[in-house]
Chain A
């Protein structure tokens, strides 16, 4: 018995070294290696951002000032938002895409593989520069640094005039963000060019995931340059002394630019998850996707409409009521294609022979949370409701039901499903199932409690709050911590699979034996 344990430890160690050495090969430009790096980097950033979230929730346990000073709390929600949106969700979504895309469109390699690799290598410096203020502040706290750079406290939206104040941390954040934005833009260009010009599969036979990612990449191509421009203007004002975004008109210019990027960004993140759902649900329901054509058209509709809704973020900023009404109409309209997708998914499930493998469990969870997040979002599209709730925890709950419940669940579903493609191994089902159920409980408790707090009128982004909200805040923290430990279990499941996981084989999900076509496993 002792021999088997020693042997297990020895083989695990060798495999760990091999995985690290292979993953860190900076000269590799093949799509699979770069995709592995992107996903691993995104997971690392995700854990970092999750730590921020846990710190935020720890503070919210007590109504008064608790574990952190108010400025630290503000810094945490700034870094949490930036890290999760730009350095976790986007790299993971495009990492999974670039891993599988060549096989789905029938090519050996992505277009511009060097640009694809370059795009990835912009991410680590981007993250570490953006997060440098937190790290430097920590080093100063423990006495290892003679100077101090305070973390920025401007929120992920970077609104001026707050973001124009003299602060080295904001400069670093903007530079890091700029690198992350450029990285995403380059990756999206690679995806668009690969699908449009390299593809050997005819349009009519293109799978629904590729369609969705093509639209998501298109959104990036049209929206991220606007963000890059807004960041450039901010940096120019801060460093060169220009006044592009200075009061009185500058801030409104910035918020319009920012949300012209910001709302398509929501769909840049949610479309990959929707693509995963549309792709995986039929595979584990044993049926073709119901209304595939309508699903593709709904994706294209989302792509177009998403550029016409940014004004709903500005309802409370004094915009002309007629403009507000038009944005409300488009925002309500964008719910229709989303509803079409939901209808297609549920109809595909109807009378299907469901196999509740881990990817399918996460898909079902994602659909459920999408309904909750979608309905709460549609209500916010209404101007009077938005006036009442836009500054409260209601908004936090709404977008976290989507960002965590739908996007993270969707990406995790894709992650489990394509893990054999990335690594040749499978994650043990027991860990994946435990991860799923803990995450479901965590999302329900955390964001359900935040929703209740929002309906109670509790303002968001505040480190302190009236005592009457404390029980619900504590419940939200308990749920968040459960969600947090669930992600530790996820990481352990992945690490364990890399070390001692079972080989996945050529048909890891048993699709071929059920007569289901899956190009990614076909060679």
Chain B
């Protein structure tokens, strides 16, 4: 029993939180929102800290569930992202009637993600995937008054269902072929025969949907645009991050026998994601859609790293997620603040932004620099390591293509910087005062984008962890 608790500490904590919130929700309806929110945030911090306590390794449920230092770290990462999102959404939730439901859904989705990360069985994986996906559709609908929001939810749930179907199809196929869904068994059974590869492609498509890799990405922009910023940031960081962790595991362990095939496919997907993401991001006028395409491009860079050797790319990938977490959340945070105050979503709202709101503008600019991969921001390191990981195993033509895509992406990130710093405001912009919680979150993210890069500790920690586990 104790072992269960110990190994599943993060899942259990989350479950406890969900129950607690349910109880609160049912028990009383005249609570002071601020106090509850503060309480929740406190608990989330506790949850995060818990992740760093002890370093359990072990299997449960007949090897369906596995945990080790790396997995715990990955979960902590997601915990942290959730905490930051919660901080940032403070103002929005404060006035939202259904804030508790939002938390419950979000935590449930996170729980799904945890199970997914820990899964060592395709069925378990699918359960986690669904648990991590369906609540998000509801979260997307949380701007209750807006039609766009429900449209986004609908689009998400439909695409998600379709993707799940594909995934299930592939999983079923695999079961038919090998008679097992257990990862360890699969690893041995995986052969490069056509039917197996066929199944693999379906599975990959299902996962590709989650990380919005081109051509499974089309839902992304609409959903980001329609959903509340908190949901969009959850989607872009937590949802994608968790799937990427698993994908790395799957590719390098379960499917390592068909390395040659999946490598080519991954490179193709990666290049497609980069190019299309870039091309769409170039002309985006809506800041949330812009972030959507930017994240598609970023996924392209992450994917390309998977085409490399195991150790280097896994560390690079996890490190990149960490960096991406800080930068993307900072960007979303500023967008949320601006949306709250001006009600505008288009990027022209940022014209002349610097004059009135220098610190916000700097936060946003630094986040964008980080996303663009410009030193000394952490994004530079993240991207450098990703591409470096792959550089040894692809030829220089592909490498040049990747590098040029990075340049192309620099254009649209700098475009926003240009709007903020160099243009004059269209309408008279007021000074925006950011309340305490989001401010903290922004500070944390900005500090993160600066520190995690130049200080090599984070990467070194991750690399050591990866090395020790795998």
Chains A and B bind each other: no
Show the binding face of B for A, using Cβ within 8 Å: none
Show the binding face of A for B, using Cβ within 8 Å: none
